A and B are shown apart, each in its own frame.
Chain A
Amino acid sequence: MNTFPDLLKLLPALYLMMILSSCSNDAAERPLPTSEITRLSIPLENISFQASGREWEAVLFTFIQPLSLEVIYTNSGFYVSQKDDLGVVEGPGRICLKSGNSHFYYEVLLDNRDVGVTTAKDYRSPKTVNVDSSLSHQRIAFILDEWSNVVDPGGSLHFFEEQEIILTSRVGVYRTKVKTPLSAYYIQPGSCTSVPLHYEFRPKANIYKVMAGPLQDQYGNMVGEGTMVAFVYDDGQYTNQMEVMSQNGYATIEVSSSGSTVYSLFAKVNETFSSTIQLQPW
């Protein structure tokens, strides 16, 4: 086989293929709605269009999602209908009719015929409140229908209810809705106001057990779990610093007793200091 002449023989076939691929269908004409469709209620009733051809597709674009519509052909054209009875997010939307490469859009305003099952929402801000700062809480409540539209319960265009709530100073995790962990808001303890310090000597183990606590904020709440408490003690030669984290408002350390050495010790939480005590076995 000679390569070039064979390739040359293929040229007419290639040319024909190019000609064929350049052929295209005529553009479709814009279907005419038989009635006014500027405002539509969902679920849709049949919307009728005058049109030619039988290769139409229809999509309803709502504010956030596209919905495929069913196309049923008649003698003069076709009508479109919804495939299910679900609602949509209300507001502006568009119906798109497509035939081949032709697309036709119709601007519409959507509303639902029914609100379905409603859900009450209660948002709090801020979600985390520290008692050292303001104890006020902003609350905003509203109702959502089954399709995520805000519902006007009184019909007076009063969609949202705002409140400022003064919170309790008691630390805890609170929920705005029962059994809904995501609705939780948190009241956290404030800064430690005093560092009480106690110690006891345990002769059998030959150690001092030193305890700082109860560590409380200005409202009597125990400081947060894991709050760092630094115990600084001096044996006359070395200054030792032991950092421990509080549990249930208390922090405990053990200091080995070394004969007759007297330790002077204090504890601090940030810049709140305890009194200085002397650790001695007698």
Chain B
Amino acid sequence: MYLDEVNANKRSFLFTIQRGKLRADQIKNGYRLWDEISGKRLLLIAISLVLITHGVIIYFTLPRTYDAFVHMFFADHYARFWFEPWEYRWYTGFLTISYPPLVHQSIALLGKLFPLKVAFSIYSVFAIEIFIIGIYRFSKIFFEKTTAGVAAILAVVLTSVVETLHVFGQVPTLTGLGFLLNALPFLYQYIVKRKPIYLLMALCLGSVVLCSHHVTAIFGMVFFIAPTIFMALTDGLSKDSHNRNYIVFIWSIIKAAFARYREILLFVGLMILLAIVLIFPYWYWSSTDPITQVSIPHGSRDNFFEEFSSGLVFYIIPLTLIFAFIPAITYAFIRQRRFFLWAVSFFLCLLLGSGGTTPLPKMMLGENAFNILTLDRFGFWASIIAIPFMARFIYSFLAGPVKEFWQKNFGSRSHFVLSGLSGFSYLIFVVFIFHLGSFRPLQPKEVDILPIQNFLNRDDHMRWRYLTLGFGDQMAWLSANSLAASVDGNYHSARRLPELTSRPVERLENAKFSGMEGLASLNDFLTRSEKYSLKYVFSNDRYYDPLLYYTGWNRTRRLENGIIVWEKGNISTIQPLKPTEISPVLKYAWGILPLSSLGIAFLLTIVYLRRFKDEDYFASVPPVDQYYPLGVIYTTAFLPLIFSSFFMCWQVYELLLVKEQRDPVTTVIHYYNHLDFQRFDVAFRFFKPSPTYTLDQYLLEKSVNDGGLLPSYAKLDSISVIEVSRQKDSSKVEVYTRWNTSIGHLENRETTQLIYENGKWFILPPVRIPQIPEEQVRSHTYTLFKKQGKRVISSFPTVKDDRIKKPFASFKQANFVRHGSQNFLVGELLNADNIPINLALKVKVRYRQGEVRNYFPTTAFQYNIAPKGSSFFQIDLEDTEVMDSLQIAAVELYAETDVSERGYIHGGTPGYAIIDMSDEEEVLIKIKFHNELTTDINIPGVLIAEKDDAGAIWQARLHVHPTAIRSGFRVEFESSFEKIQHKAQIMTTFPLRVYINHKQREVGPLQLDEVAIRNMGIAILPHCFISDEIYLH
């Protein structure tokens, strides 16, 4: 009985299909009015939807996007210097001709009327409106107008589009694609009808694509223009050719292509000519200054099975709906031969968008292109190609034959429920994507840049460069609002500084996310700051504090927005740099042609609409019936609901229902994860519940026991948990953790006990033995300094009346030491003055062929010394092989001094004893550190020097302890130290000259160090980091 009913329904469905054919015939015979009106109405709805969705929210989502601020920075450049492509504010200068300017110039123009963020938002809405119109017009070359209208509405809420705008902020991509989609129907018509007006319009809109986004223009030729030409050629064939076998069909296409070779060549030739002329400066830049940098890792190139989070952001979220519609899309592709090349494009884009999940994309693109391109754009293009086909099915399901079939077989109620649930779950999913930046923060919290702007505008601070740390893409927003220059930047293709291009580092400001390579690059800039006139660092992340401190940076103030300003003394102001020469003609062309292309496109569109638009514009597009096989109908009807609701359920599960304490290993891993992100209240819940061990007690114990490099300035790199033993309700695990800090890796090993209660594993809190200091109140006498600064209130540079002298310093000794392949300059430097001073050291090695190379100290030096205090130093040079091959002519050691703003305490009383490790070359230094200060010593450290019996220093290095010392307490730690004086040699075959403040000085006579002699040649100095801002109050 039931089968009969189904068969009857199937027959009925086939009848419906026949009716679909009838309807198509009616359309062809002139019954197009309804379709015309409903298509345009749907387009108007889509345009309105853009305004009330994207238009309302864009202003609030753009600060959390990846790229919005970069484009605003470029827009700010054009607002300030329209005809000058040299932008000095990033990377010590780069050319903005390295990116097509149309979008940025348009925002710059709007920026003359509105604030930059508002201008960007307005432009984004404009871009997406153009894009939606483009989708409508693009869909019309596939199907009738009602489907095109549905496609336009679908595009408004398509996750790939939402993500591109609201998560990635890629407005140029959207602009380029929007105009490309508008250009394609003209190209199609030109190939079909051969009317010059279509060629003109296609070229005109294509010009806007070229001026908006070069990558879209280049790949658009392959993935969009070629299938369009192919489809136009197919539509020009006779009906017989469609029905013959593939070989005959292909042969017919080839013949058709030859028949229209003039049109094809003319379009392609003119398009290439326009590409060359309109953005010639870009090609000029590409050829004269090619990108030769180490590839920067990007999540879109990951293997998505291994890096699921990358797959989620770059593949699953944008393409969820596309995967749900794959059966319908695929069926539509194979149903008509005119879609053949679109199918190739779609699946190719889908494959390339899968990044490194399979080796195929790398094989197809080649190693170089694979490592330069961000592959998520291919997935985005696949989703755009899929839109008309998805719209076709949706239309059919909601108001077409599929609906009729469904209602007949399963009733109208089930159709309504299924449609409603699918739509609702998808819209919830889209709302989630709109706020993805809030749920899964891609950027640090918003920073109020006004205090930084004020700081940069004050006291000539703009005469030096600055660097931001922990700002995310907001660094570009700061740059857009200031004329001050930064060594960092956010446009990777324009980077040319060797410290940046030689390592896979995205930006300096988020160096910690690039691992040790990133920190090495940051370290280069912080130590070679003089080379780049880098004087100020604005830090929004204390992770970098140890590195800043130990490379000679001083905290000067905390701004109103909580940003700490770090400053380095003795840095020269920015020296005038000659911009890369570019012809004035090219500058004017760059400033005029792109925007003109947009203006001409608009004017010509108006002219076209008024004078040339055909009434029967898409008559050549063959009518397509809405037949879908049952398998496709069933799967495609359910998959969107399944995918969307599964994703949302999975998100809810991740947020609320993950069993973090299901076994001992999982428990410990999650506990450390929460600790790493400083979610202490959540971490506390992993401890065995006890009325005597409260959250308050936990936090209290933590505050008195924790602190230091490991607990406060480290990021968990990896964790390994091994269950050592398990009894019925208890377990013992060994936890090995590896932590990244800004001054190197730390490793830790702990044993943890767990018990099983109420279906969960709990950690037994570690037993803390409280240390009680003897004194109830501690006192310490500090000597603080205050540099008065300028004493004449004037915005003019310092005049003689308020000039402060350069402090005196002297080299107690300086030695060029060669130890195997290592070379370094070591010695001791004295502050001979009565005031605390900042010191900057630089070694200039002159080689025989005239080459000069500079080297700077890193962490083995106290950059700030009290009156009559001294510090060891070590400056690492190059490999022996390199130095010998270049032949050293002379070595010059320069010290620059200036008055310290406040002085600095290096802290604590280190006591040390040396234990001979029976090996003559290696000793063990046992250090007992006492903190007699009234503040914690966050990172206890000592500067260790090896001296010989005559007092000559052979090496110096920093050793730090991972945990803090509270006031009044002591810690003990050890450091093994390899002595080198019996293996190394002090080089005297070339002159070593020393200079203090650019005046040549003599090195003082060697002094015996009896303390070092008593301690097997080891001398130490305290060198601690104290984070308490006692100097800033």
- Is B one of A's binding partners? yes
Residues of A within 8 A of B (CB): 2-4, 126-128, 130, 181-182, 188-189, 191-192, 223-228, 232, 234-235, 237-243, 245-247, 252, 254, 269-271
Binds A, one of B756-764, B861-869, B880-888, B1025-1033: B861-869
User: Among residues 986 to 1008 in chain B, which have CB atoms less than 8 Å away from a CB atom of chain A?
Assistant: 1007
Query: Taking A226-B783, A242-B932, A247-B783 as contacts, is the C-beta distance between A181 and B791 under 8 angstroms?
Result: yes
The reply to whether the CB of B802 lies closer than 8 angstroms to some CB of chain A is yes
Q: Which one, B5-13, B491-499, B907-915, is touching chain A?
A: B907-915
Say if the beta carbon of B834 comes within 8 Å of chain A. yes
Chain A residue contacts of B909, Cβ below 8 A? 240-242
> Are B903 and A226 in contact, with the CB atoms below 8 A?
yes
Taken together as a complex, chains A and B put the C-alpha atoms of A130 and B806 apart, in Å, by 13
Whether B928 sits at the interface, judged by CB under 8 Å, is yes
Sample (11) of A-B pairs whose CB atoms are under 8 Å apart? A127-B803, A182-B791, A192-B868, A238-B926, A240-B909, A241-B909, A241-B1022, A242-B909, A243-B866, A243-B869, A270-B830
A204 to B191: give the CA distance in the assembly, Å: 104
Instruction: Give min CB distance, A59 to chain B, whole Å.
Output: 24
CB distance from A208 to the nearest CB of B (A): 14
User: What residues on B are CB-neighbors of A226 within 8 Å?
Assistant: 783, 785, 834-836, 866-867, 903
**Contacts A130-B808, A181-B791, A225-B783 given; does A238 touch B870 at CB 8 Å:** no
Chain A residues lying within 8 Å of B805, measured Cβ to Cβ, are 126-128
- Cα A178 to Cα B87 in complex, Å, equals 52
Contacts A128-B805, A247-B783 given; does A269 touch B868 at CB 8 Å = yes
Chain A binder among B33-41, B210-218, B312-320, B1013-1021: B1013-1021
Chain B's nearest CB lies how many Å from the CB of A7? Answer: 10
Q: Which of B801, B830, B1020 has the most CB of A within 10 A?
A: B801
Asked whether any CB of chain A lies closer than 8 Å to the CB of B607, the reply is yes
Q: Determine the chain A residues whose CB is within 8 A of the CB of B802 once the complex forms.
A: 182
A238 to B836, CA, bound (A): 29
Least CB distance from A226 to B in Å reads 4
| A126, A228, A234: the one within 8 Å of B867 (CB) | A228
**How distant is B944 from chain A, measured CB to nearest CB, in Å?**
12
Interface flags for B819-838 (1: CB within 8 Å of A; 0: not) read 00000000000101111100
Which residues from A are CB-within-8-Å of B869?
A: 228, 243
In the complex, chain B residues whose CB is within 8 Å of the CB of A271: 1007
Known pairs A224-B835, A228-B865 / 5 extra A-B pairs, C-beta < 8 Å: A130-B834, A240-B911, A247-B781, A269-B868, A270-B830
B870 CB → nearest A CB, Å: 7
A223-B1007 CB under 8 A given contacts A182-B801, A241-B909: no
How many residues from B make CB contacts under 8 Å with A? 44
| Those of B78-113 within 8 Å (CB) of chain A | none
CA distance A183 to B903 in the complex (A): 26
For residue A233, give the distance in angstroms from its CB to the closest CB of chain B: 9
Please determine whether A3 and B610 come into contact, CB atoms closer than 8 angstroms: yes
A189 touches B834 (CB 8 A): yes
Query: What is the bound-complex CA distance between A226 and B868, given in angstroms?
Result: 9
B834 near A224 (CB under 8 angstroms)? yes
Let me know if B606 and A3 touch, CB within 8 A.
Answer: yes
- The answer for the CA separation of A227 and B835 in the assembled complex, in Å, is 8
Q: Check B392 for interface membership: any CB of A closer than 8 A.
A: no
Cα–Cα distance between A247 and B783 once the two chains are bound (Å): 8
Residue numbers in A under 8 Å from B369 (CB-CB): none
CB neighbours of A181 from chain B (8 A): 791
Residue of A nearest to B785 (CB): A226
**Complex: chain B residue closest to A189, CB-CB:** B834
With A and B bound together, what is the CA distance between A3 and B606 in angstroms? 9
Q: Does B792 contact A (CB under 8 A)?
A: yes
Given contacts A127-B805, A182-B801, A270-B830, contact A245 B607 (CB under 8 A): no
Q: How far is the CA of A200 from the CA of B896 in the complex (A)?
A: 42
Taking the complex as formed, is B1011 at the interface, i.e. its CB lies under 8 A from any CB of chain A?
Answer: yes
User: Is B906 positioned at the interface, with any CB of A under 8 Å from its CB?
Assistant: yes
Kindly state the separation between the CA atoms of A246 and B926 in the bound complex, as whole angstroms.
29
B867 touches A227 (CB 8 A): yes
A226 and B1020 CA atoms in complex are apart in Å by: 21
Q: Is the CB of B866 within 8 A of A228?
A: yes
**Distance A223 CA – B869 CA, assembled complex (angstroms):** 13
Residues of B within 8 A of A126 (CB): 805
- What distance in Å separates the Cβ of B199 from its nearest Cβ neighbour in chain A? 19
Given contacts A182-B802, A192-B868, A226-B903, contact A241 B1021 (CB under 8 A): yes
Contact indicator A245/B783 (Cβ below 8 Å):
yes
Name the CB-closest residue of A to B909.
Answer: A242
Question: In the complex, what distance in Å separates the CA atom of A243 from the CA atom of B792?
Answer: 36
- The chain A residue sitting closest to B1021, CB to CB, is A241
Could you say which residues of chain A place their CB within 8 Å of the CB of B785?
A: 226
Asked whether A270 lies within 8 Å of B868 as measured between CB atoms, the reply is yes
* CB-defined contacts of B606 to chain A, threshold 8 Å: 3
Q: How far apart are the CA atoms of A237 and B928 in the complex, in Å?
A: 11
Q: How far is the CA of A128 from the CA of B808 in the complex (A)?
A: 11
Q: Are A3 and B607 in contact (CB under 8 A)?
A: yes
Please, which residues of chain A bring their CB within 8 A of the CB of B910?
240-241
Shortest CB-to-CB span from A134 to chain B, Å, is: 14
Tell me, in angstroms, the Cα distance from A223 to B805 when the chains sit together: 19
B835 contacts across to A, CB distance below 8 A:
224, 226
Chain B residues numbered 892-947 whose CB sits less than 8 Å from any CB in chain A: 903, 906, 909-913, 926, 928, 930, 932
A223 partner residues in chain B, CB cutoff 8 A? 834, 867-868
Q: Would you give the shortest CB distance from B926 to chain A, in whole angstroms?
A: 8
> Which 6 pairs between the two chains have the least Cβ-Cβ distance?
A224-B834, A240-B911, A238-B911, A228-B869, A245-B783, A226-B783
A58-B464 Cα distance, complex, nearest whole Å: 41
Chain B residue, CB-CB nearest to A241: B910
**Alpha-carbon distance A247/B1020, docked complex (angstroms):** 25
Q: Given that A181-B791, A182-B792, A270-B870 are contacting pairs, would A239 and B913 also be in contact in the complex, using a CB cutoff of 8 Å?
A: yes
> B868 near A227 (CB under 8 angstroms)?
yes
Min C-beta distance of B856 to chain A, whole Å: 25
Which residues on the B side are within 8 Å of A228 (C-beta)?
865-869
Residues of B contacting A3 in the complex (Cβ-Cβ under 8 angstroms): 606-607, 610
Whether the pair B834, A239 counts as a contact (CB closer than 8 A) is: no
Q: How far is the CA of A63 from the CA of B801 in the complex (A)?
A: 23
Residues of B844-898 at the interface with A, using a CB-CB cut-off of 8 Å, are 865-870
B834→A237 contact, CB < 8 A: no
Closest-by-CB residue of A relative to B1015 is: A239
Residue of A nearest to B807 (CB): A128
Provided the pairs A3-B610, A225-B783, A227-B867 are in contact, do residues A239 and B932 lie with their beta carbons within 8 angstroms?
no
Q: A4-B607, A126-B805, A192-B868 are in contact. Are A239 and B836 (CB under 8 A)?
A: no
Expressed in whole angstroms, the Cα–Cα distance for A170 and B606 within the complex equals 89
Question: Which B residues touch A2, using CB under 8 A?
Answer: 610
Closest Cβ of chain B to A179, distance in Å, is 15
How many Å lie between the Cα of A188 and that of B911 in the bound state? 34
Q: Can you list, as one digit per residue, whether each of B599-627 has a CB less than 8 Å from chain A (1) or not (0)?
A: 00000001100100000000000000000
Q: Which residue of A lies closest to B929 (CB)?
A: A240
Q: Mark B390-430, 1 if CB is under 8 A from A, else 0.
A: 00000000000000000000000000000000000000000
User: Which residues on the B side are within 8 Å of A232 (C-beta)?
Assistant: 1011
CA distance A75 to B194 in the complex (A): 78
Give the residues in chain A near B610, CB-CB below 8 Å. 2-3
CA distance A192 to B867 in the complex (A): 11
A3-B610, A226-B836 are contacts. A239–B911 as well, Cβ < 8 Å? Answer: yes
Determine whether the beta carbon of B868 is less than 8 Å from that of A238. Answer: no
Report yes or no: B792 in contact with A239, Cβ–Cβ below 8 A. no
B736 CB → nearest A CB, Å: 32
Q: Tell me how far the C-beta of B965 lies from the nearest C-beta in chain A, rounded to whole angstroms.
A: 14
Q: A225 contacts which chain B residues (CB < 8 A)?
A: 783, 834
Q: Which residue of B lies closest to A190 (CB)?
A: B834
Would you call B1011 and A239 a contact (CB within 8 A)?
yes
Are the CB atoms of B906 and A241 closer together than 8 Å?
A: no
Chain A residue contacts of B1011, Cβ below 8 A: 232, 239, 241
**Please, how many angstroms separate the alpha-carbon atoms of A150 and B461 in the complex?**
35
Instruction: Output the least CB separation between A174 and chain B (Å).
Output: 15
Contact between chains at B906 and A239 (CB < 8 Å) = no
